[in-house]
Chain A
Amino acid sequence: MAGSTLATGQRTLARLLAPLLCLALAGCASTPLRGTGDLGVVIERASGSVQIVDNSHAQSLARVQGLGDLSHASVVFSPDARYAYVFGRDGAISKVDLLTARLVQRVEQASNSIGGAISSDGRVIAAQNYSPGGVKLFDADSLALLASVPATTGANGQPSRVVGLADLPGKRFAYALFDADEIDVLDASTPTAPKIQRFAHIGKQPYDGLASGDGRYFIAGLYGEDGLALLDSWHADAGVRRILAGYGRGRQALPVYKMPHLRGWSIAGDYAFLPAIGQHEVLVADNRSWAQVATVQVLGQPVFVMAEPGGRRVWVNFAFPDNDKVQVIDVPTRQVIKTLQPGRAILHMEFTARGDAVWLSSRDDNKLLVIDTASFEVRRTLPALEPSGIFFSSRASRMGM
């Protein structure tokens, strides 16, 4: 009797312990604990995949597949930097777990999309769409639709393509309407019933936008005229004003074989560095008065103009047919101090959080380059399938990224 009770007790104990033992073993077998602060996502545009990379050790950790059409893609991160939200060209949002390297969720929310942003509190994902034009808000955990905000133009309510979506402090987003010459600010405090503030006639054909690192300013680049449109969100009632107007000074605009991208760190110290459009120049503006201070001649149509995190230098890549080159501008002297030719079709640049290295993607050479920003030497190259955007998780704690 006593023996059988003991045996039963042992069996029960074994039954209780077995799953624990499995868990412990599984824990040992899987990767050790790690943080996500030095991880990143690289878009592989043709194969619909992303690589998860570790920028402390300049290595690739995993490839995640099944993300659809990534011919244009952008990425934002959850506040804990564990999840990457990838916005694809086909209108899908894919949520990728950086630690388990798995696609945890995917929603197809539009037919043609260009990017998105995450709210300041990390609760709301906003997607900007070309077709149908507008902005949609999603719950960041479940990706459930919270609200759909159409962007319309004209009396008959033609849908407009939405560009330049960026997060502002206080759960707000700013974006521009390419077909309506408008900047809108969306307040997602109540994400199921967002409030929209509209600014009309901001300038012709806004093609992209950026928020300053402090989230105060939103700037839209204009394709249809020489100049940019600036909204000071501290004084939104004062409206949108034109800055750097007439930078081409009547010169013939050169053809643009790829539209510049404004998003990124283009504010270095007291100055903002912005791509001219149709001129092979980087425009330098005072970042409080927004008056033009200088122009820096570069070798082609700038696409990304990105300041190193320390603000001392600004790196520029170029549109076709100069997309095999990168130039580096010294901020104090506003001179090009280096021209690199790192590979064919350099589509993007991303700095490590404190700027020790910059990663470049070379689409046509199927590689990533890790370059030492102090020596300009290539520390490492990594294979990748037609890589485009590179996004490090340090963006998780920055505004306007």
Chain B
Amino acid sequence: MDSGPVRRRLWLLAWLAASLCQQAAAAPAEARAAALLQLLHKDCGACHGLSLKGGLGSPLTPQALAGKPADSLVATILNGRPGTPMPPWRPFLSEEEAQWLVQLLQQGSAR
């Protein structure tokens, strides 16, 4: 009975934490952001399609990525997926930059 408000407060905390985590993917500086978007559309696009609707690589549209945990998508970008043609991009991207790209992709604002 008493746990109602506590539970609500917990939910609020969880929500706050989640939104903080989302904001953790800070946007890179303007020039770097432009370079990353170029990389996304041109080089990721070589397999995933210029419009990211997929090809030999899977689609990267918000619909296709819906419900997938951002962390695992970031890990896929940085480490690749063994057994598939997806290579590790860690030599070219920082963790924060990969997080930023995943956020853009999941929001459908990667243009």
In chain A, residues 138-184, which have Cβ atoms closer than 8 Å to a Cβ of chain B? 161, 163, 178
User: C-beta contact mask, A185-223 vs B, less than 8 Å → 1, else 0?
Assistant: 000000000000000000001010000000000000001
B-contacting 9-mer, from A49-57, A252-260, A327-335: A252-260
Q: How far is the CB of A79 from chain B (nearest CB, A)?
A: 30
Partner of B45, one of A71, A205, A257: A71
The answer to whether residues A130 and B87 also contact, given A112-B49, A363-B42 and a CB cut-off of 8 A, is no
Q: Is the CB of B54 within 8 A of A112?
A: yes
Partner of A71, one of B38, B51, B56: B51
Residues in chain A near residue B87, CB distance under 8 A? 255-257
Residues in chain B near residue A130, CB distance under 8 A? 54-56
A45 to B45, CA, bound (A): 11
Q: How far is the CB of A117 from chain B (nearest CB, A)?
A: 18
Partner of B56, one of A111, A207, A364: A207
Main secondary structure of the interface of B (DSSP, over half): loop
Q: How far is the CB of A15 from chain B (nearest CB, A)?
A: 54
In chain B, residues 49-105, which have Cβ atoms closer than 8 Å to a Cβ of chain A? 49-51, 53-56, 80, 83, 85, 87-88, 92
Residues in chain A near residue B43, CB distance under 8 A? 257-258, 320
Least CB separation from A303: chain B residue: B46
Q: Is the CB of B50 within 8 A of A255?
A: no
B47 in the interface (beta carbon within 8 A):
yes
Residues of chain B at the chain A interface (Cβ within 8 Å): 38, 42-43, 45-47, 49-51, 53-56, 80, 83, 85, 87-88, 92
Residues of chain A at the chain B interface (Cβ within 8 Å): 45-46, 69-72, 89-90, 111-112, 114, 130-131, 161, 163, 178, 205, 207, 223-224, 255-259, 320-321, 345, 363-364
Task: Give the 9 A-B CB pairs with smallest separation, nearest first.
Answer: A71-B50, A255-B87, A320-B43, A258-B46, A71-B45, A257-B87, A71-B49, A69-B51, A223-B85
Known contacts A130-B56, A205-B85; 11 additional CB pairs below 8 A are: A45-B50, A71-B51, A89-B49, A89-B55, A112-B53, A112-B54, A178-B56, A207-B56, A256-B87, A259-B85, A320-B43
